[in-house]
Amino acid sequence: MKITEHIRKSDGKTLFSFEIIPPKKGKNIKELYNNIDPLMEFKPPFIDVTTSREEFVYVEKAGLLDRKLTRMRPGTLGICAAIKHKYEVDTVPHVLCGGFTKEETEYLLVDCHYLGIDNVMALRGDAMSHQKYFEPSKNGHLYAKDLVTQIQNLNKGKYLHDVIEAENKADFCIGVAGYPEKHLEAPSLQTDLKRLKEKVKAGADYVVTQMFFDNKKYFEFVKAARAIGITVPIIPGIKPIAVKRHLQILPQVFRIDLPEELILEVEKCSTNAAVREVGVSWAIAQSKELLAAGVPVLHYYSMGKSSNIKKIASAIF
Ligand code: FAD
């Protein structure tokens, strides 16, 4: 079922969902199931599965560093299909511009449709570590908006190379990313919001936000989005802080601010177990306020670990 349909059918009740990251190459899917199992009691109508683009890894060879191009976390679609059928839950594969040609994207979407996957998140992806700016693959998309257009074309039965007539057209519900504290490359929040509106105009059905730790940022973002005519659901993405290093990593990678009060609480901790508790308490407080504000879904970034998400969900749902 489409995410928008899940939201419509919930009759104003806030839903629980979460995002998982495929395990690194060589791991077994059982590990993933062990992390999903404890969260199923909260009845998520959907689970997102991220996609990692190819990357360069450096391996030492005869005292020299050898650069290899590889995909460290393969299998998003396979994982989506496995989870969907094991738990009878909708799964949302993240589809990236980066690292994919338009043809490869089409093959992926055709496979999604074949497997009964009704929702996809359309994302640009980040620049590779050696690149300053994002570069699309040859014959790939530069912006998520263009990917949304390709998916919408498929929904109309339009393939890239019109050699077959689709008997059973796809009808994907499309999610896109939104940034309450603006995307790191955007010159201003207002410009970024205009770009978000373009994605919605191209056919995006809902938005999932980047993580934020101050709900005010989300409320203001939704208000500003509504003011420029973005009417689709805007789902807040929540990540509990789990290690002290997050104080440096999260602002650096995602260009988000952490509230002073949270920083002080984390700095007081002498172990990462204590940091995790602070992260859980903060996320519970955030979730309670968002729930009271009637958000459609509370969407959690699990980062492959479910124990803290379980504690939060137990306090909220
Ligand atoms: P876009 O919407 O294309 O925007 C990228 C930048 O370009 C923005 O600054 C925007 O303002 C600007 N822009 C857009 N259109 C134009 C235009 N026409 N002219 C000039 N500028 C323009 N990354 C992964 O690799 N894998 C994942 O699974 C993944 N999942 C994510 C899930 C969520 C909920 C979120 C919020 C992010 C996720 N990301 C993921 C990260 C995302 O890929 C990066 O943040 C990426 O840098 C931007 O992706 P986007 O889809 O927002 O890009």
Task: Supply the pLDDT for residue 58.
Answer: 83
| Structural domains in the chain plus CATH codes | 3-239 (3.20.20.220)
Is ligand 1 within 6 A of the CB of residue 173? no
Distance 125 CA to ligand 1 centre (A): 6
Q: Report the nearest atom of ligand 1 relative to the CA of 186.
A: 9
Is ligand 1 within 6 A of the CB of residue 207? no
pLDDT in tens, 174-216: 999 999 999 999 999 999 999 999 999 999 999 999 999 999 9
Distance 62 CA to ligand 1 centre (A): 39
Q: Which of 19, 106, 181, 265 is catalytic?
A: 19
The pLDDT-based confidence of 27 (bands split at 50, 70, 90) is confident
Is ligand 1 within 6 A of the CB of residue 235? no
Residue 164 has pLDDT above 70, yes or no: no
pLDDT in tens, 56-94: 888 888 888 888 888 777 789 999 999 999 999 999 999
Orientation angle between helical segments 76-87 and 102-114, nearest 10 degrees: 10
Task: Supply the pLDDT for residue 168.
Answer: 76
Please give the average per-residue pLDDT across 123-136, as a whole number: 92
pLDDT in tens, 132-145: 899 999 999 999 99
Active site residue 19: yes
- Cα gap 239→308, rounded to integer Å: 10
Candidates 48, 208, 13, 201; CA nearest to 119 is 48
